[in-house]
Amino acid sequence: MTSLGDLIKNRFCRGVVTQPIAAEKNAEVEILGLELKAAIKLSFKRSFNVRQVDTGDCGACLSEIIACNNPIYDLQRFGVNFVASPRHADALLVTGPVTKNMELALKKTYDAMPEPKLVITLGECAKNGGIFGGSHAVVGGVEKVLPVAYHIPGCPPKPVEIIRALLALLV
C-alpha cells in the first residue's frame, strides 16, 4: 500500500507528466462541436443516442471512440450520448469486420433498434473487412449484413474526423 508520503515524493521526483492542449486543436474541436450540437438540436430536439458495437476489430477504432469521450473532445457536451441498449439508440455505430461469431448478435442488435434505423460504420475493417478481409472467420464488411447509411473512413479515424463525419451526416 502506498503512503501519502510516497505519493508526494513521486510527484516531486517525476514532475508534471501532462501536456497542455494545443489552442488551435481545442478551437477546432469547439467550432465543430458547436456546429454538431446545433445540427443535433435541429434534427432531434434532444441528444443523439448512439449504440456502439464491436464486431471483431483490433481495438484501434474503439480506442478513438473512447478518446471522443475524454475531457479533450467530450462528445457528450455536444449532445452525443453512447447508450447501453439498442432500444434507446438513434444510430448503430459498428467497428470492425463482421466475424461469423458476431453476425447474429449484430442482426439482433439492429432488430432491437427503433425505427428509423441508422447504421454508421467506422474504420476500413467495417467497410470491407480491412486487413481481416478474406479470413475464414470473417463474413466481410457490415454492408454484407446490414444496410449502412454512412461510413466514417480511416484506420483508425482520429476523434476530430469522427466529429466532422457525424456533423456531415446530420447536416
The per-residue pLDDT for range 20-65, each reduced to its tens digit, is 766 667 889 999 999 999 999 999 999 999 999 999 989 999 999 9
pLDDT at 7: 73
Q: How confident is the model at residue 5 (pLDDT cuts 50, 70, 90)?
A: confident
Percent of the chain clearing pLDDT 70 (strictly above) = 94
pLDDT at 81: 96
Q: What is the CATH code of the structural domain delimited by 22-170? A: 3.40.50.12280
For residue 49, give the 3-state DSSP assignment.
strand
Letter string b/e over residues 138-157, b meaning 16 or more CB atoms within 10 A of that residue's CB: bbbbbeebbebebbbebebb
Q: Cell numbers for 44, please give them.
A: 432531434
**Average pLDDT score, the chain:** 91
Residues 82-100 have pLDDT tens digits of: 999 999 999 999 999 999 9
Q: Which residues contact 170 (CB under 8 A, 6 or more apart)?
A: 36, 39, 40, 43, 48
For residue 61, give the 3-state DSSP assignment.
helix
* Mean pLDDT to the nearest integer, 104-131: 95
Which one is predicted more confidently, 170 or 2?
A: 170
Residue 18 has pLDDT above 90, yes or no: no
